[in-house]
Amino acid sequence: MTVGWGMLVRLCLVNAAIGGLAALPVNLFNRLMTVELALPALLPGLLVALHYGVQLTRPVWGHRSDVKGGRTPFILGGMAVTGAGVLGAAWGISVAEASVPMALVVWLVSYIAIGLGIGAAGTSFLALLASASGARKGGVATTAWLFLIAGAIAASIGTGIALEPYSPARLVSVVAVVVVIAFVLSVLATAGVEARATGVVERDDTPLKIALRQTWDDPVARRFTGFVFLSILAFYLSELILEPFAGHIHGLSPEDSTKLSGGKDGAALMGMIGAGILSQMRLGSLRFWAVMGCVISAAGLLGLGAGLPLVPSTVVLGLGNGLFVVGAVGSMMQLAAAHARSTGTRMGVFGAAQAIAAGLAGLVATGMLDLTRLILPDAVAYASVFTLEAVLFLAAAVMAASVMRGAEMNDATLVPGE
């Protein structure tokens, strides 16, 4: 049986916890390595790429939860490993004050742990949510990502405020508190959910290799995986350079640049809420929101590159990101849950495509930034990366319009506010 909205909303606290922990390595730690420690932008890019690369294990975690017939142990175990990795990465920043080589060792271990933990927890959470939500895929997807963004906002803004005045020792203390809060939220969120959702998770003894081949042989899943890769590549290209951009070009402090990232996430939150409300009024399908989100995100990026005011351009980018998430994630859950015995495996395949794209985006963005800064003024170097991302978003919009058009992705069954 599916569970009620109250329990589904509580379960989404897991996504808030994941969002809060994931925001720190991508935003704050990246800023501190690039600006305060004056390390090459490629370094945090490689570390984030490493943690996304490790998430290629997502199909394994999803398949294991299919075989075991239970998701909660994978969610909580993954959150514990993620928290340990995030805390280790924060400690590594203080270690770097004395020895960068030693810090590199700490960061390598920590980012591997972050990737493994997010892969296990995130895949199992989405599989459980997709199975337990019944016909409410769109509305539940919107709720889940509202919580993800809310968690990122709370962690970004809360950490930014608590870091004043900044010091490496204070950073470790603040991050430790964030880690404890995230794990406690996850325990409260998952308590009793699978016991109530009897019959939702169907055990599957299909070997991993065969399960993966079955997923890839499905033309709908294969085409959608391609869309996920392209759109997420565009989505994450500016993640590692937005806070350094705010520091290098606009002179913002670590606290203020962290709040800027929180502001972008807040705009994304409003975009998702707006899409959900309009969808309840039958104004817009998942395909429409995916396309519009890509186009609006591209507009915000072009504004940043053109030197338009920082905050308005960042808000436009966040708004577009929010609309895109509603369309893309709702569709992802719909396709994964359509095959009850392999929901975890399919969610893992989509997640692996997302991880590859996100990791590649970090490498492309930071590597391109380092190279262009050697021959171009800083402002032009950052603008070149933002422009590339805008072009990719527009290409993703065209692909979304095509991929989500067929009968197998009928808009009538994919309405965010259903």
Rg (CA), the chain: 20
62 pLDDT band, cuts 50/70/90, is: confident
- Quickly tell me which residue has 């960042």 as its tokens: 314
- Residue 400 confidence (pLDDT): 79
- How much is the average pLDDT of 84-89? 95
Q: What's the token pair of residue 142?
A: 């919107």
Taking residues 80-102, report their average pLDDT. Answer: 92
Q: Is residue 261 included in any domain, yes or no? A: yes
Report the 10 Å Cβ neighbour count for 270.
16
CATH at residue 404: 1.20.1250.20
* Mean pLDDT calculated for residue range 319-327: 86
- Residue 365 pLDDT: 85
The structure tokens listed for 214 are: 């079955």
Other CB atoms within a 10 A radius of the CB of residue 219 amount to: 10
pTM, two decimals, is 0.73
pLDDT confidence of residue 370 = 85
Instruction: Say what the pLDDT of residue 108 is.
Output: 95
CA-nearest of 20, 32, 23, 54 to 236 is 23
Nearest to 125 by CA among 341, 354, 343: 343
190-199, 200-209, 297-306, 397-406: segment of lowest average pLDDT: 200-209
pLDDT digits (tens, 9 = 90+) for 147-199: 887 888 888 888 888 888 888 889 999 999 999 999 999 999 988 887 776 55
| Mean pLDDT across 317-334 | 82
Question: Quick check: 333 pLDDT over 80?
Answer: no
- 12 found inside a domain: yes
Q: Which of 21-35, 53-67, 377-391 has the lowest mean pLDDT?
A: 53-67
The per-residue b/e assignment along 241-266, b for 16 or more CB within 10 angstroms, e otherwise, is bbbbbbbbbeebbbbebbbbbbbbbb
Distances (CA, A) of 286 to 4, 94, 146, 220, 275: 23, 44, 16, 16, 9
Residue 94 has pLDDT above 50, yes or no: yes
Asked if residues 240 and 26 have their Cβ atoms less than 8 Å apart, the reply is: yes
Based on the structure, what is the number of domains in the chain? 1
171 within a domain of the structure (yes/no): yes
pLDDT at 338: 59
Lowest mean pLDDT among 14-18, 65-69, 262-266, 411-415: 411-415
Q: Is residue 215 part of a domain?
A: yes
- What is residue 110's predicted lDDT score, i.e. its pLDDT? 95
Whether 270 shows a pLDDT value over 80: the answer reads yes
Any idea what DSSP says for residue 376?
A: S
Q: Name the residue with higher pLDDT: 283 or 12.
A: 12
Assigned token pair, 27: 């935003």
| In-domain check, residue 321 | yes
Mean pLDDT of all residues in the chain?
81
Where is pLDDT greater, at 51 or 45? Answer: 51
For residue 293, being part of any structural domain is answered with yes
Residue 62: C-alpha distances to residues 66, 201, 342 (Å): 6, 12, 8
Quick one: pLDDT at residue 81? Answer: 95
**pLDDT of 332 strictly over 80:** no
Q: What pLDDT score does 416 carry?
A: 36
Q: What's residue 339's pLDDT?
A: 58
Domain extent for 42: 5-413
Q: Let me know if residue 418 belongs to a domain.
A: no
